[in-house]
Amino acid sequence: APRAALCTSWAPNGGRFAVGLASRDTAVCYFKEDLNCWIAMKVGRSKASVVATAWHPTGQYLATGSMDGRCMVYDVSEDNMLPQPRPPWGEAQVSEDTGSWVNAVMFSPNGRYLAFLSQDATVRIKDLSGGPQAVVAVVSWRGLPFLRGAFLSDRSLIACGFDCVPALFRLNGSRWEASGSLDAAAASSPAVASTASPSGAGMPGGAFAEARSR
């Protein structure tokens, strides 16, 4: 890598890994047996350092978060990657602008939801089954920004950051809400009611693939 590697994540099947770079690139790496070494193939290019990566459960898509405030999802299907890349490999399927650094990205276990945590102390969740016009649910937090998060199920996720206290978020009906800090009663949570913002372009699928054709 020409610049520092800032984050990395393995594909679900363990055959490839992704690296976010300070050079504003994202590399998808695979092992080439005849050369006995790992080969990196770049996908996309951000306007600032890439600090977060996450694989879709199918291994077909890769989400990235960067310091330019964007969360991107690229098609990185292994079938379209090897032996030579061919469309739609490397093409952006989702582009969301948060207006603030993206600290973390993640997919729900079934791949339906994409969540990204921003430096503006918001948790943003996109229902990928909703097609290109799907809105992004935005849940604001009156505390400090979150740095890491993980889905506990397809209807709940946990996030933690500069407050040093994990917070729980749940899907209540069709609305994502903050349930509060896990170290205090929910009534004392610094959560703010969730809102929604228009989505960016593109869309991946499980529900992904269907939404892309709409």
Q: How confident is the model at residue 210 (pLDDT cuts 50, 70, 90)?
A: low
Q: Kindly state the average pLDDT of the residues 76-89.
A: 93
pLDDT at res. 204: 45
Q: Which of 212, 84, 193, 201 is nearest to 139 (CA)?
A: 193
Q: Kindly state the average pLDDT of the residues 158-184.
A: 92
Mean pLDDT (the chain) is 88
pLDDT at res. 157: 98
Q: How far is CA 43 from the centre of its chain?
A: 15
Cβ atoms < 10 Å from Cβ of 209: 12
Q: How confident is the model at residue 60 (pLDDT cuts 50, 70, 90)?
A: very high
Amino acid at 3: R
Whole-prediction pTM value? 0.85
Amino acid at 140: S
Q: Kindly state the average pLDDT of the residues 31-46.
A: 94
Cβ atoms < 10 Å from Cβ of 164: 9
pLDDT at res. 194: 57
pLDDT at res. 183: 78
pLDDT at res. 211: 53
pLDDT at res. 202: 41
